[in-house]
Amino acid sequence: MTATWGAPGRVNLIGEHVDYNDGLVLPFALPWTTVTTVTASSGDTVTVESEGAGHAEFPVDAVPGDVSGWAAYIAGVVWALRDRGHNLPGLQFRISSEVPDGAGLSSSAALTCSVACAVNAECELGLDKPTLADIARVAENRFAGAPTGAMDQLASMLCEADSALLLDCQSMQWRQIPFDVSPAGLTLLLIDTQARHELVGSEYGDRRRDCESAARVLGVASLREATLEAVDQLHDEQLRRRAHHVVTEIQRVADVAELLDNGQVADIGAFLTASHDSLRDDFQVSVKVIDATVDAAVRAGALGARMVGGGFGGCVITLCRTDDELAIRESVHSMYDDRGWKDPAFSEPHPSLGAREVSAP
């Protein structure tokens, strides 16, 4: 028997760096997937053939620290399943991916979710998608060392076509919100700046620790419970900035969700730009190329634009009138040419379906 599953990357429309603060997030799934085919085998060895990364091999009972690099994400899923009592056999994986690495589009979640779904099907574990999403998150956090929240994996698992997923990371409740901008004469333009990032590095973890410190000083379990008035009284400027972003970003997500529920798609643009400003100034996770891309898009007529993902590189999501799209592309290209930067890549992602069984590649 062989199982083949695909899981997509995601764009977080708004709600950056609030999932690990018990906040609200609003991601949608990309049309690009990572596809994993797995076959159970005799013995106690896991082998992986990846179109993009090569070959890896490790024992099925590998524990954190035994496997490093890209293979740690696959090993982490196997370990997390075994850690929950599932006695897995040897496994043979074949993996291919359309999701670009380091672009802030959750390529790692696409990988771990596709692996978890394929193993679940092949070994007949009977686990549901929320449980598999948690398995994938644990694999990233505890085995690969990436301190992500729960959003990326749940988005990859649960998103539906033509919808964004409103996820409450405190209650873990979610609902689908219709999200198709084209009937309003609008376009979602994703701009890959070609500046790559790595979430296992210290900067992401530092921001998470700052948020935890701010919550302790404020006497709350998480910044989800903090008020803006209390945050503004923090004496430590760095903690105050971090907490200010989180509290205001959670409110922006709620506001955008309400606008989408009311069919006011064009009105969300200002919230996207405000989110970017907060990430740049208060959370300090943007970089020069990202800021310049946002500025060029807005100057050319975009309704709103913001960085996507954990920061320090990656992509910009832009909402614009379809009639203005060409001018925005030209403005961004011209700015890159003037500065001697590598050309950006443009796409128009449509909110797509989450993890699903697919035909073997």
Catalytic residue positions?
152
Specify the amino acid at residue 200: V
Q: Where are the alpha helices (DSSP H) in the chain?
A: 71-83, 107-122, 129-138, 151-158, 202-218, 228-231, 237-261, 269-281, 288-299, 325-339
What region, left, alpha or beta, does residue 307 occupy, with left being phi > 0 and alpha being psi -120 to 50 degrees?
beta
Quote the distance between the C-alpha of residue 85 and its chain's center. 28
Spell out the residues 6+ positions from residue 216 whose beta carbon is closer than 8 angstroms to its own.
none
Question: Rounded to 5 degrees, what angle do the CA atoms 305, 309, 314 make?
Answer: 75
Give the dihedral sign, CA 38/104/193/299: positive
Structure tokens at 225: 């419970």
- Length, in residues, of the chain: 361
Q: Provide the residue type at 163 as one letter.
A: S
* 218, 234 contact by CB (below 8 A): yes
